[in-house]
Amino acid sequence: MGSEIRITKDGALCCPWCGEDGEYLHHQCVTVYERVEDAERVTVTRVSPHRPTTVEIIPSRESDNPSARRNGLAIAFWCESCQGISELTIAQHKGFSHLDWRKSKLEMFGTCACGSPIESPGREICFACYSEQQK
């Protein structure tokens, strides 16, 4: 996406889609990409509030690592204002840490009636609502 990283005067991160009106961001998933420089494989760790933590080792070229050569980080956010789902990424490159926004793949699963993103394919509600129904 390449959107500017905007922060309000109060220090709140703004949505890349709707700007300062979208300062009500909720982080949904944190993904850490760990690899030795230019390695063929990357360890991908995903932490989400509603799903078990996963760790997998996959080919670097198949990962969504924001860094072309080293470690990366992606934090998925859902915006209360516009319902947009984006990932704030941090990528290492030649000694610098680059911040950027990109579209999140969480978006493809839709939005629950409660407003939260649906975290997995084939579901009609988010994990939190599903868990509440099971009680």
Local structure of 84: helix, strand or coil: coil
Distance from C-alpha of 93 to C-alpha of 67, rounded to nearest angstrom: 7
In a domain, 135, yes or no: no
In a domain, 42, yes or no: yes
**Mean pLDDT confidence for 122-127:** 72
pTM over 0.85: no
Residue 88: inside a domain: yes
Q: Identify the bridge partners of residue 38 per DSSP, sorted by sequence position.
A: none
Cross-strand pairs, 87? 76, 102
Residue whose C-alpha is closest to residue 127's, from 63, 72, 48:
48
pLDDT at 31: 94
Classify residue 89: in a domain, yes or no. yes
* Domain hosting residue 53, numbered range: 25-107
In a domain, residue 15? The reply is no
- Which DSSP string do the residues of 97-123 spell out, in sequence order? EEEEEEE-GGGGG-B-TTSSBP-STT-
Q: What is the pLDDT, as a whole number, of residue 60?
A: 93
Distances (CA, A) of 105 to 28, 31, 74, 85, 110: 12, 12, 11, 8, 10
- Within a domain: 67: yes
Count of domains in the chain? 1
Tell whether 87 is covered by a domain: yes
- 8 domain residue, yes or no: no
52-95 confidence digits (pLDDT tens) = 899 999 999 999 999 998 999 999 988 888 777 889 999 988 88
Average pLDDT, the chain: 83
Mean pLDDT comparison of 14-18, 47-51, 128-132, highest-scoring range: 14-18
pLDDT at 48 (0 to 100): 84
Tell whether the model's pLDDT for residue 25 goes beyond 80: yes
